[in-house]
Structures are given as C-alpha cells and as structure tokens.
Amino acid sequence: MNTNLPERSPDYLNPIPSDHPLYSISVICQSKLLLRQEIPASDEEFQELIKKQYIQEVPGIDETVIGHVCRRCGNQSHHWFGKIPQGRTQAVYCRKCIEMGRVSTFEPLYRWTGPEMPCPKVENPCQWDGRLTKFQEAASEKIKAAMADREQLLVWAVCGAGKTEMLFAGLTDAITRGDRICLATPRADVVRELVPRFRQAFPDVTISALYGGSEEKKEGAQLVISTTHQLLRFEEAFDVMIIDEVDAFPYHADKSLSFASERARRTSSSLIYLTATPRKGLKWKARLQWIPVVFVPARYHGYPLPIPHFVSTFRLAKHFSKDTLPKAIQAWIQKKHGQQRRFLLFVPTIEMAENLSKITGIDRVDAADPDRIDKIEGYRRGEMNALITTTILERGVTFPSIDVAVIDAGHNVFDEAALVQIAGRSGRNAADPDGDVVFFHQGLTKGMKGARKMIAMMNRLARRN
C-alpha cells in the first residue's frame, strides 16, 4: 500500500458537484476496487484524483508469510497464482479472477476513498398492490425487521412461495431511509428475470442490472441486481445485501463469491439469504440459532408442490446412439403434445441436449448457446411449446403452466437441491397449479429420493399450518 500519500485536499469531504468534470468518474468509482483500465479518466484526471486522495492505490496481490493473497477475490490457493516476466523479475498474478482483468504484484487496484454520494430517500417507492398470504406476511415482517436492525436472516421458502414479493415491504422502508441495496444471485438468467419485476414495482428508483454483457448498467444506482461475480468489484457499498438462490452453483462452491459478498456490505448492514433448498451448512447455522430463520412452506397460491414420479428408462446411451428414445420418454412427450401442454426437458449435459434435440426436433438451450437469452424469452412469450435445457433453468425462472421432465435424473449433476428446484418450475400458475413432474432414471439415487421426500415434507407442513 502507498504510505507516502500527500495531505488531503480541503475539498476532500465535499461531494464532487454534478457539473464538475470529475463527477461522472466519481459515480463510477465510489465503493469500488478497480483496475486502472476500468477507471474512465485521462492521465491528468487520474493524477488529480490521486493527488486529492479521492482514489487510493492498493496492491493487487498481497505477499504474506503464508503466501500470496489476491486483494480482489481473496484467493490464497497457490495453484491459482501464475508468474509472468516483469523486467528482470517476475510478476505474480491471480488466475482465479483473471476474467475481470489481470491483477498482479505489478498491477495494483484503486479504491475510492473520496466522499460517497448519498442515495435519495424516496417516499412511497413501491407501486406493487398485491396481497400477501399469511406465510408471506410473516416472512415479510421478519425481513423488514432484519433490514432495519442491520441483522442477518435466512428465508427458507418453497419454490413458488413468492420470495420477491416478500421483499417489497422491507425494501420500501430501506429505500425510504436512503439505503443502498444489492440483490445478488449466482445466475445471470435470474438477474434478467428479476430486473423487470423490480422496475415495475419500484418505478422511481434507479435500478442497475449487472452481469456479463449487461447493457443495463446504471452507475451509482440505489438498487443493484447483480450476479455474485460482479460483487468482486465492490467494497463497503451496500446497507442491505440479499443473496438469492444462495445454495446455487457456483456460489456455494466458490469461496471467492462469499468473500466478495461480505466485502461489498457496509460494516453495519443487513444480510438476507433466500433459498428453497438450503445446503447443510446453512441448515446447521439455523438449527444452532447462529442465524435467524423464517420458513415459508406453502406456495403463494396455496396449492401443494407437485410430487415427482419416477420412471425407469435404461440404456439411454444406446438409444441415443441409434437416434431413438426409450418408449416411456417418447410416450410422455407425445402425451404432452396431444394435451397441448407446454413443457421443459431437463438433461444433464450439453451433449445429451444436442442428441435429444436432433431426435425430437425440439429446440435446446444451454450456457454456451449464443442465442440463449432470445430462446428463453421466446419460450417465456409462448413462441415454443417445449424446450430442452441443461440446469441453467433449474431455478429462479418462472414460466406459467408448464410440466417438467428430467432425463437421466440419477446423473450426478442432479443432486437433491437441483431436483427440488426443477420440480418447482411446475404448477406455479394459480389457475393451473397441478403440474406434472417426472424423473426418468437409470436407477434410483439418494438425490431423487431426497427430493421427493423434501417436497412431501413441505406439503405436510403447509397443510398443518
């Protein structure tokens, strides 16, 4: 860290006026850790910001007695560091977060240390006029209190419980207080799903959508809806942090993402976890009362979750090699076409998606598909009755009146949480709550049995209450 900083400018404590040439740069940089190339300033402007101590240089990589630590993603694993020649020596760089630009021992980060621009205090910002169920109302009150008291809360709500609407009352108070809020999720598709709903509910609030390739970025927005990867650029930014789908890949498996979400929170801030399928660690924290929890066992429309049916279909690979399908899968698809029911076919791999698409003529979508967004939106608009998908659509997306089938449900991609989430895509419409869910498998697995057991348990709890 640079310890030879000049004395602070007398202007330091004053926000930069909106008509000042440096204003737009300050909006982009505040509460961020950025590389030099991410700061849109000329060399003269940049030096002026450094001189006034609005921006402070910090090492990109810390060298400690136990090894290197990436200042941006928190990586400490030796195998994620590489070396490149740098003059007569070598620079150490972090490969873990290199997709966001290279951080190395010779490429520092820059932290905004100037005055923060306060968020507006918008009166009556929420225009949503729906009504909450008793379960939703109870969760909404807990969320509102956690946000106001700057505390943590786990919201364990079944798929289709209406988690988004449960947030509205707490967010209304937070926006009225002038809080800055982030709703982060591991999946970009979930960001794209949520943004229009929040813009409709909070039309007078500046909302920014952050994900790779997003064209909806609004610097300095009061409400940021983001993938968890984007949080790697933030520091001490948010009064309210909401992690949606907290159990989803890659968040639960990548320590750098939880590191980033913690750093992006202000010291005094609330942290709300949302999920229908918490992992063991979070369940244990709840049981030990290390984190308060509110449980929502019923869907917003009050109908039970569809219970999956298990159907055995062996020798899938052999069928695919002959461009055929097992009779059970073929019959299910024909039945749905005959009933004019819309459906999703979940498969474990891109290769299987390609094979199934070739055999059935049904379009497919996966993470590598360049037309991914258009296809998903097309399906949402009803332009397709069926779609083959990998796990990218397993959670966080809502399509009314659909049935779902999982092909090769025993594959290790489909763990208990994934299967519960997939089943939860069905029956979400109050006018059509009886969705059909079938798991085609080549042998029952612990994940399949656990998913059905969890869904049945939630339905029992909903009836009991």
DSSP per position, 212-240: TT-S---TT-SEEEEEGGGGGGBSS-EEE
Identify the bridge partners of residue 272 per DSSP, sorted by sequence position.
Answer: 153, 242
Res 157: pLDDT = 96
Positions of the chain with pLDDT lower than 70, given as ranges? 1-14
- According to DSSP, residue 81 is labeled E
Token pair recorded at residue 178? 């002038």
Name 243's Cβ contacts closer than 8 Å, sequence gap at least 6. Answer: 184, 185, 228, 251, 261, 271, 272, 273, 274
Please state, in angstroms and rounded to a whole number, the distance separating the CA atoms of residues 232 and 229: 6
DSSP-based three-state secondary structure for 179: coil
DSSP E strands: which ranges in 235-338? 238-244, 265-275, 293-296, 309-312
Res 203: pLDDT = 97
The answer to whether 398 and 276 have CB atoms below 8 angstroms apart is no
Q: How many CB atoms lie within 10 A of CB 281?
A: 10
Please state, in angstroms and rounded to a whole number, the distance separating the CA atoms of residues 95 and 92: 10
Residue with the two structure tokens 């399949």: 448
Res 379: pLDDT = 95
Q: What are phi and psi of 375, to 5 degrees?
A: -65, -45
Give 214-252 pLDDT, tens digit per residue: 888 888 899 999 999 999 999 999 999 999 999 998 898
